[in-house]
Structure 1
Amino acid sequence: MAHIGSKIRAGFFATPERQGEYLAKLFVAEGNGIWFDPTCGEGKILHQLLNLIPKKNEESNILTYGVELDKGRAAIAEQELTKVVQSPIEAMVISNNSFPFVFLNPPYDDTMKVDNSKVERKEYIELHRNTKYLVGGGILAFVIPSYQFANPKIARHLATHYEECGIMSFSKEDYNDFRQCVFIGRKKKGKSKLFGKKEKKLYDFLLAMETEEFVQKYVTPIDIMIGHKFWTIPEGRPEVKTFYSRLRNKSDFSKGILSSKGFEIFKNRATTPTLTIGGDPVLPPNAGQLSLLLASGVINGELGNGDTYHLVQGQEIVETEKDSEEELLDNGTKKTTSTERTKRSVSIKAILPDGTIKKFV
């Protein structure tokens, strides 16, 4: 994958716009419905397909739904699609048999191993999950690296659950970077899924895609397929009964919390009250209280008006006094005990209206 680093943004593979243009020419939409991209990224490919796929009825009302884990990409997708939920797809609750068209370009990775759980490929997990969301007769467009189609579970699932199948590689402009292929198939109707000669033939073909030589020789590029084959996307339901995430975003609750009475009580109890100095005291302060107020600096500044106008500054002076005491012991000797104590005094300076400075200690 020579230039794949330049094609990856924020850890996901966005389907190239050119491949979306080719893909759109392989479909025609019958009518209304909801189209779904379960790992939609920025939502651009599904939006592109909606605009480019021809409709038998131009008045068709087609909605586009997406799910995206990343917050930033989901925000962009909201501008492109009808409805987007920011959530891991694993946390979504979605009605089965809801969508006539699913575009699936899942993460290319292994699942995490937890305790003794078995490691699975995410491509298979999402294929299995999203087949359930597709209506019988609905169309799946499945985009993964070519060699992953040789995964026996993926090959078996596609061969068993889909008919009218086609497999194409990206056109040469992008294939060397991505090595991706597109599977298109129509989901079989009914619960019984036979695995006969036709299914076995498709299964064997997919397994052979493990080698690049086979892909280059037998898998048709998508731009060459145009005009030779197309798929009709059936009409679908006007709404999905269930489509939400089990995980709730904290922003869903913030407005209610901030406006609740309990939060207001909490703020009042947690906030340090502001001390306001001003007005007349309930009782006039005595000399000692006045000295403390002056010494602590609470009433520093301007006092009085006119002839009684003063500028006052109070200061507390802390000194240490030492004292000693002699004690005559029974054996005739003297014991001297030294003690220290802290002495606090108040120094007050005042500037009178005529400029005289007085100091009170």
Structure 2
Amino acid sequence: MSKEPIMALMFSRLARNFARNGYYPTDELTLERTLQALLPASSGRMRILDPCSGEGVALAEVAHRLERNRTEAYAVEYDRERADHSKTLLDRVLQGDLMDTMISRQSFGLLWLNPPYGDLVADHSGASQYQGSGRRRLEKAFYQRSLPLLQYGGVMVFIVPHYVLDDELCGWLTNHFTGLRICAAVDRTFKQVVIFGIRVRRQDLARP
């Protein structure tokens, strides 16, 4: 196995106003159906990451689905109370803002990404790193920050409101992933969809 990924906070910020805003945990039935689509690795161990873990329940369920004794579950969570709960369920949890972290690139075989929902405001920590010309959304900012952490050949599970899937985000997905699938969440309260994909290099998409 490759060396353990580095996970650390780069620095702390004094002003944050989004700790609880945009937090939408995955409903139980949607989580159950999503887990059914995942299979354990054929051999060896797998590292999995949730960069917006909430209380850690979703990633803990993923780890058990993928065989807990062969899975290392890593997470980042901004809210201290939720991070403390995550630490009781997962292997390694970093309490802080994902945008302020240093995490080894391509270190994880599965990325579970249910980011905060909402517009990306100018004073958000991710605004300065954001690259895009379409509507500036938190979901896009967290996607951009999280994508490099996933190995090529790794699986992403991306849970977002369907109305976020504009031409820009759909273009990113089709450039970065193959085998894309999408399904609606069981609970329609937050208008969520679940997107599955396998990360590939862009040049590989053009090969027959």
Matched, 1:143 2:154: no
Looking at structure 1, the residues matched to 174 and 71 of structure 2 have their Cα atoms a distance apart, in angstroms, of: 29
Q: In the aligned structure 2, how far is the partner of 1:42 from the partner of 1:178?
A: 19
Match of 1:156 in 2: 171
1:27 pairs, out of 18, 35, 38, with 38
TM, length-normalised to structure 1:
0.46
Identity %: 27
| Mean Cα deviation higher: 26-35 or 178-187 | 26-35
Contact 1:42 1:73 in 2 (8 A): yes
Cα deviation digits, residues 69-89 of structure 1 (max 9, x gap):
111111111111111111100
Q: Which has the higher strand share?
A: 1
- Match of residue 97 from structure 1: 106
Distance 1:71 1:168, change over 3 A: same
Shift of 1:179: 0.9
Amino acid across the alignment from 1:145: P
User: Of the two, which has the highest radius of gyration?
Assistant: 1
1:185 maps onto 2:197 in alignment? yes
Q: C-alpha distance in 2, partners of 1:146/1:193? A: 27
Q: Deviations over 1:295-345 (max 9, x none)?
A: xxxxxxxxxxxxxxxxxxxxxxxxxxxxxxxxxxxxxxxxxxxxxxxxxxx
Q: In 2, distance between residues paired with 1:111 and 1:193?
A: 32
Specify the code of the residue in structure 2 equivalent to 1:182. Answer: V
For 2:158, what is the secondary structure of its paired residue? strand
CA contact (8 A) 1:128 1:157 kept: no
What letter is aligned with 2:118? Answer: D
Q: Of residues 26, 31, 50 in structure 2, which corresponds to 1:15?
A: 26
C-alpha separation in 2, matches of 1:195 and 1:155? 17
Q: How does 1:71-150 map to 2 (within 5 A)?
A: 71-113=80-122, 120-149=136-165
Match for residue 10 of structure 2?
none
SS at 2:157 equivalent:
strand
* Shift of residue 165, structure 1, vs aligned partner: 1.0
Q: What is the match of residue 63 of structure 1?
A: 72
**Aligned AA (1:77):** S
In 1, Cα distance between equivalents of 2:122 and 2:72? 37
Inter-partner Cα distance in structure 2 for 1:36 and 1:187: 15
Distance in 1 of aligned mates of 2:146 and 2:77: 14
Task: Tell me the equivalent position of 2:15.
Answer: none
Listed as ranges, the gaps of 5+ residues in structure 1 are 1-8, 199-361
Greater RCO (Cα-Cα under 8 Å, separation 6 or more): 2
How far does residue 52 in structure 1 lie from its aligned partner after superposition? 3.0
What does 1:239-250 align with in structure 2 at a 5 Å threshold? Answer: none
Matched AA of 2:50: D
Instruction: Give 1:186's aligned amino acid.
Output: I
3-state SS of paired residue (1:147): helix
Residue equivalent to 2:13: none
User: Structure 2: which amino acid aligns with 1:84?
Assistant: V
Q: How many residues of Structure 1 are paired with residues of Structure 2 in the alignment?
A: 179
Q: Which runs of 4+ in 1 moved over 6 A?
A: 116-119
Q: Shift of residue 152 of structure 1?
A: 2.0
Q: How many Å separate the matches in 2 of 1:191 and 1:164?
A: 13
Please, which of 169, 174, 177 is the counterpart of residue 184 of structure 2?
169
How far apart are 1:186 and its partner, in Å? 0.2
Which amino acid letter does the alignment assign opposite residue 87 of structure 2? E
Q: Aligned-pair RMSD on alpha carbons?
A: 2.4
Query: Is the CA contact 2:20–2:79 (under 8 Å) kept in the aligned structure 1?
Result: no
Which piece of structure 1 moves more, 27-36 or 155-164?
27-36
The letter of the residue matching 1:41 is G
1:15, 1:97 → 2: CA distance? Answer: 25
Other-structure match for 2:12: none
- Structure 2: any 5+ residue segments left out of the alignment? 1-18
Tell me the TM-score normalised to structure 2 length.
0.78
Partner residue of 1:279?
A: none
Q: 1:192 to 1:50 in 2, by over 3 A?
A: same
1:82 maps to a residue whose letter is D
Per-residue deviation, 1:10: 4.4
